Copies of this chain bind each other. A is one copy, B any other.
Amino acid sequence: MPKNLERFFNPRSIAVIGASRDLITISGQSLQHLQSHGYAGKLYPVNPKYDEILGIKCWPSIESLPETPDLALILINASRAAEMLRACGKKGVPFAIVFSSGYSEVGGKGIEMQRVLAAVAAEYDIGVVGPNCQGMINITGNVYAGFGSVFFTGYDAGAVSMVSQSGGFGFSVMNLASKDGGVHFRQMVTTGNEIGVSTLDFLEYFIDDAKTEVITAYIEGLKDARRLVDVGRKALAKKKPILAWKVGNTEQGSRAAASHTANLGGAMALYQGAFRQSGIIQVEDIQDVVDYSRAFRCGKLPKGNRVAIITVSGGAGILMTDECVSRGMQVPSLSAETAEKLRVIVPSFGSIQNPVDVTAAIFNDLSLIRRTLQAILDDPNVDAIAMINASLQGELADNIAAEITEIAAHTDKPIFLAWSARDELARDAYAKLDALKIPHYKSPVRCGRALAALSAFAHSLRRDEVRLKEPATVLSDTTVHALLAGRSEDLPEHAAKQALAAYGIGVTRETLAINAAAAVAAAQAIGYPVALKVQSPDIPHKTEARAVKLGLNSAASVAAAFDEIMRNARAYRPGARIEGVLVQEMVSGGIEAILGVTNDPLFGPAVMFGLGGIFAEVLKDVSFRMAPVTQSVALEMIDEIKGSAVLKGARGALPSDIDALADAIVRVSAMAVDLQDHMAELDINPLFVFPQGRGVKAGDALIKPKKY
């Protein structure tokens, strides 16, 4: 498949296969749209029924074309699309958009048809977009290659590029954001079933495309999700935000899995983890794209998350504060020096606290605005300013906008405005702001949300710079490889914990005993009290089988417990293979966490962390990251869960050994990478996290091999 999509978006010639004179139909529309929007390249309608369409010579077949087009639009019935694609392949066409529906999305025969289409694409190395899609628009190149109501209008060119798995919704985003929101697009492509060029391929292209400043994606699912984190990080490094929808969040995951990790690892949690890990910004609605695009186009990233709010409306200031704080920003106290400066500017019935309520009195003297903004910009506690001008309009608005642009031109701190005057009443003022790309919003809530998105992106960038400087933890253990390779049965507790130990992860002291005497000897060596548990691949639920005994304090009780466990296990499942009884130290004083790996078929190995029991299972309070993770990312995973206060010593408890916990997460992630060909799942539950300096210990563990 051709790697560089430049030619796809800027084809020198386009074949329109199945072009039709019926301009109502999908096959009729595409040629018309290309022509009417002034596509400057060569157009080759292909249809044996016509000599010309819309005054353009029509060709009987792809073979008959006088040159090899850069792009073919395949607009015929699904049943004949593969045949046409093959003809394109023979002709050497590098890119094709297959518009036809009726493939995998309908199931049955469609699945086979899609397989055939993909095989043809692979055979001839064609970059296929689709099938079941609505085409592409490259606005700067006047390439309107597709169909639908939004193609009947032209669009202003801008700096936003979008890839969407939905044609209808994707084009409506471009249409509304551009026409109603004033945020203009550069390229827009819909990918449908994605047998060839994928959403991530397009994202990579947009990242490299110098004229794309903001990237948007509508995602239902990624077949190559494994690349998501790398693509996101690449965008982050280039300071290009990716604004992404991930939909289908409420659907029950199709992956039913017995163990915790897989249960919780429903696809959405993995996407969330990957998005957080790589700075991709989730959006909910079209307005977010408009608002965030405006935010990012200001070209300034705040150095920290501290915003000073300047307002003439106390109410709007409160709303803005709530919005910023609830989205991770701080509204810090201003320095004493700043307060001193403000005291002589702000009227007594205003407020020199942050949010600074300057009151409408400030509009009486423009120099006050300048002094206020400058004083706050000079404050070392402030990384960004959000100013609320309420419904200020007319000439005064214009003058104030001039002051603001003057100040904004000489600072690298972002200045955002919440300004609710309608466009017609502050046209000149808004034009001044737009000329300097100063973001402004009608509502303080939208303004706060957009600033918080910018701030979060800047935070992700700083975080990722830290990560890049960290050493990578690479671990490998050939014994564990050998143990798992080709295995189809789960690795039970004792073996799983030996595997953990091999990767340097703390486990309980324990010995597998095959008779009562050995159990007693093991208990003596470990030290009382001990726990005894049956080890059998046929008895996953040991407690249910009454094959667990806790808190045994003497040789006699250990010996008796051994016998009872064996009896109960045999009664519970006659014929069960019993490997022995595990004699284990009793652990006390730790907080129970869970730590696991899901080796997702699409994402690859992902690490999951949470507090134990109800927290993970009922409240789903867990964090995911794609492996490998470094120490700082592991610390983020710990911070991210709502229950993290528990580990930090809530309710009078001792603070836990967070460093050791982060180290265990890093090691589990390295283990997941090392064993990615063999391990489907790892589940450590509980992982005991002890007080500071005392480490962590896996209390129980299970490894599911990849089934062969």
What residues of B have a CB within 8 angstroms of the CB of A58 in the complex?
A: none
What residues of B have a CB within 8 angstroms of the CB of A257 in the complex?
A: 318
**CA distance in complex: A614, B610 (Å):** 14
Closest to A283 in B: B445
> A600-637 interface mask toward B, CB cutoff 8 Å, 1 = contact, 0 = none?
00000000000001110111010000000000000000
Is there contact, CB below 8 Å, between B618 and A166? Answer: no
A355 contacts chain B at the CB level, 8 A cutoff: yes
What residues of B have a CB within 8 angstroms of the CB of A326 in the complex?
A: 249-250
Closest to A319 in B: B247
Closest to A247 in B: B318
**CA distance in complex: A390, B312 (Å):** 40
Is there contact, CB below 8 Å, between B643 and A322? Answer: no
Closest to A284 in B: B445
Instruction: Tell me how far the C-beta of A597 lies from the nearest C-beta in chain B, rounded to whole angstroms.
Output: 22
Closest to A179 in B: B422
What residues of B have a CB within 8 angstroms of the CB of A359 in the complex?
A: 101
Is there contact, CB below 8 Å, between B253 and A322? Answer: yes
Is there contact, CB below 8 Å, between B166 and A313? Answer: yes
Stretch at the interface among A167-175, A334-342, A498-506, A509-517: A167-175
Is there contact, CB below 8 Å, between B614 and A321? Answer: no
Q: Known interface pairs A150-B391, A618-B646. Does A316 touch B249 (Cβ–Cβ under 8 Å)?
A: no
**CA distance in complex: A446, B106 (Å):** 29
Stretch at the interface among A345-353, A379-387, A469-477: A345-353
What residues of B have a CB within 8 angstroms of the CB of A619 in the complex?
A: 619, 621, 642-643
**CA distance in complex: A101, B312 (Å):** 13
A390-434, CB < 8 A from B: 390-394, 420-422, 425
Assembly stoichiometry (copies): 2
Is there contact, CB below 8 Å, between A315 and B247? Answer: yes
What residues of B have a CB within 8 angstroms of the CB of A286 in the complex?
A: 442-443, 445
> A245-280 interface mask toward B, CB cutoff 8 Å, 1 = contact, 0 = none?
101111111011101110000000000000000000
Is there contact, CB below 8 Å, between A250 and B325? Answer: yes
Instruction: Tell me how far the C-beta of A506 lies from the nearest C-beta in chain B, rounded to whole angstroms.
Output: 24
Instruction: Tell me how far the C-beta of A548 lies from the nearest C-beta in chain B, rounded to whole angstroms.
Output: 15
A491 contacts chain B at the CB level, 8 A cutoff: no
A138 contacts chain B at the CB level, 8 A cutoff: no
A418-461, CB < 8 A from B: 420-422, 425, 442-446
Is there contact, CB below 8 Å, between B169 and A319? Answer: yes
**CA distance in complex: A642, B614 (Å):** 11
Is there contact, CB below 8 Å, between A169 and B392? Answer: no
Is there contact, CB below 8 Å, between A651 and B617? Answer: yes
A30 contacts chain B at the CB level, 8 A cutoff: no
**CA distance in complex: A195, B67 (Å):** 83
Residue from B394, B445, B446, B614 in contact with A651 in the complex, judged by beta carbons closer than 8 Å: B614
Instruction: Tell me how far the C-beta of A257 lies from the nearest C-beta in chain B, rounded to whole angstroms.
Output: 5
What residues of B have a CB within 8 angstroms of the CB of A105 in the complex?
A: 314, 349
What residues of B have a CB within 8 angstroms of the CB of A150 in the complex?
A: 391
A479 contacts chain B at the CB level, 8 A cutoff: no
What residues of B have a CB within 8 angstroms of the CB of A164 in the complex?
A: 315
Instruction: Tell me how far the C-beta of A440 lies from the nearest C-beta in chain B, rounded to whole angstroms.
Output: 14
Is there contact, CB below 8 Å, between A390 and B348? Answer: no
Nearest first, the 4 A-B pairs at minimum CB distance are A166-B315, A168-B313, A260-B314, A169-B315
Given contacts A172-B443, A286-B445, A614-B650, 5 further A-B contacts (CB under 8 A): A168-B313, A169-B315, A260-B315, A286-B442, A618-B646
